[in-house]
Structure 1
Amino acid sequence: MMTKQVQAVIFDWAGTVVDFGSFAPTTIFVEAFRREYDFEISLAEARVPMGLGKWDHIKAVGELPEVAARWQDRFGRAMNTEDIDKIYHTFMPLQVAKVAEHANLIPGTLDVVAALRAQNIRIGSCSGYPRVVMNELLPAAAARGFEPDCVVATDDLAAGGRPGPFMALQNVINLGAGDVACCVKVDDSVPGIEEGHHAGMWTVALLLSGNEAGLTEAEYLNASEAQLNSAREKARNAFQHCRAHYQIDTIANLPAVILDINQRLVAGERP
């Protein structure tokens, strides 16, 4: 019988392999609310539902108690589906136009991917971005050296996106991975970690490169250890209820996790 080892790693995109701090989607959400309704949301509010598909994300922002109260005060009613549609249709062209500007790879991405490929591990990916946005991001990332074996966008599947398992499982099918217990989901958002759990995979939450810490790459590189610890704690608090199997700072720390998962698989463990 062949020893079970990790067969595939499925990465999220923004905040995981590109766009340190996940600023491309969050700043555009703020702009879309402002342009369509002259209504202000904060960057922190825009970050709360990160990982969901973008229409669902706008809906979730509108349901935040503070946002809902301000909306009610301003318009005398709750946000409705028509409002969400209008904001989404403002958001989409802005996101398509801007996403390639946020395609710089997170430090360590190329080295980690090369190390995974050297172990015959397939490289999957999925995103809360719809396909029209991914079509802009993919060539920009490829120009920087990142080309995964599989890409699934949030609107590719009729079954839907996160926190359901569907995009992760489509990666399993496309990559030909024989056992979900030999697959790893790496993400910087709570819905992305839940996606991995629902798909039966090992899950790895990223604390410092993504949405929950909200640091720019420069802030990360120049931060003191105390500042990094504070950012880690903020992210851990956000992730505490989704119980990721592993929590690491950035993708650069992933090789040690893969080694540990391989040892656990040999011992007969499953996620």
Structure 2
Amino acid sequence: MIALAALDIAGTTVEEGGAVYRALHDAVRGHGSTAEVADVARWMGADKRTAIRSLLTIGRTTDVDTVEAAFADFERLLRTAYDETPPVAMPGVLDAFEALRAHGAKIALTTGFSAEVTGLLLDRLGWREGDTVDAVVCTDDVPTGRPAPYMVHRAMERTGVWRATDVLTVGDTVLDLEAGSNAGAGLVIGVLSGGVPRATLAAAPHTHLIDSVGSLPALLAEAHSGAA
């Protein structure tokens, strides 16, 4: 039984053109980091303050004030990017939500974004907590971001699901898969829609790899027929 589906946002359920990683790269470079694009890619799916703190250590010594200034720049750059090119739902995502609900599952979104950026992103999409999805959990809601399991567990708490084996998690990064596995989720699904190579995701803990969330209804149907 799947009681809860906890899905990542950027690269998994939402296409935002990689704006978050461009903004992250530009923000830390603007504060003296010599981080390259490949360095930023290693932090896909992570809490953005944690990512900034680490990236600022490349080429300079960092401090709390610099981290906060870079984080403010990151949010400003991302807001501008979303104004210029609004994010959109990945193909098939809303159909996947319907399929999950048909199987009795509640839907939660989990993300490495702050509450402010998450709210901005969902406003652009017209998605509402309690309507489009049942819960939204961001890094402001937990003591530590991915790969810690806390966002998945907080989603369980908010939706009244108490058995981790009844949870399905979906994400497009290694940290997403590690967080799902660390949470004890019954199904840990990686998607290739975020641009991470299949071989990279395949090396992380998972139960399934699929092309995108749009492929989830077929996977659910197959799992349901196998259990019948």
Give the TM-score category using the shorter length. 0.7 to 0.9
Alpha-carbon deviations, 1:103-146, whole Å to 9, x = none?
211111111112222222211111000001111111212269x8
- Aligned twin of 1:257: 219
Change (3 A) 1:120 1:240: closer
Q: SS state of the match for residue 14, structure 2?
A: coil
Point out the structure with the larger helix share. Answer: 1
Whole-angstrom CA distance in 1 between matches of 2:34 and 2:198: 28
Amino acid at match of 1:92: E
Correspondences of 1:141-152 after superposition (within 5 Å): 141-142=125-126, 147-152=132-137
Indicate the percent of aligned positions where both proteins have the same amino acid: 26
Whole-angstrom CA distance in 2 between matches of 1:85 and 1:123: 32
Correspondences of 1:5-84 after superposition (within 5 Å): 5-19=1-15, 23-37=18-32, 41-62=35-56, 68=58, 71=59, 78-82=60-64, 83-84=66-67
Change (3 A) 1:96 1:184: same
Query: Alignment RMSD, CA only?
Result: 2.5
- Aligned twin of 1:130: 114
Whole-angstrom CA distance in 2 between matches of 1:189 and 1:102: 22
Point out the structure with the larger strand share. Answer: 2
Q: TM-score if structure 2 supplies the norm length?
A: 0.86
Q: SS state of the match for residue 135, structure 1?
A: helix
Q: How many residues align?
A: 223
Whole-angstrom CA distance in 2 between matches of 1:179 and 1:143: 27
Deviating beyond 6 angstroms after TM superposition, the runs of 4 or more aligned structure 1 residues are none
Once the 2 structures are TM-superposed, how far is the Cα of residue 102 of structure 1 from its aligned partner?
4.2
Alpha-carbon deviations, 1:147-196, whole Å to 9, x = none?
21100111122x22211111111111111224211110000011111111
Confirm or deny: 8 A CA contact 1:204 1:245 kept in the other structure: yes
Confirm or deny: 8 A CA contact 2:96 2:217 kept in the other structure: yes
- Aligned twin of 2:74: 91
Whole-angstrom CA distance in 2 between matches of 1:80 and 1:141: 35
Whole-angstrom CA distance in 2 between matches of 1:79 and 1:92: 22
Structure number with greater Rg is 1
Whole-angstrom CA distance in 2 between matches of 1:205 and 1:249: 8
Which of 200, 216, 223 aligns to 1:238? It is 200
Change (3 A) 1:84 1:143: closer
- Aligned twin of 1:195: 179
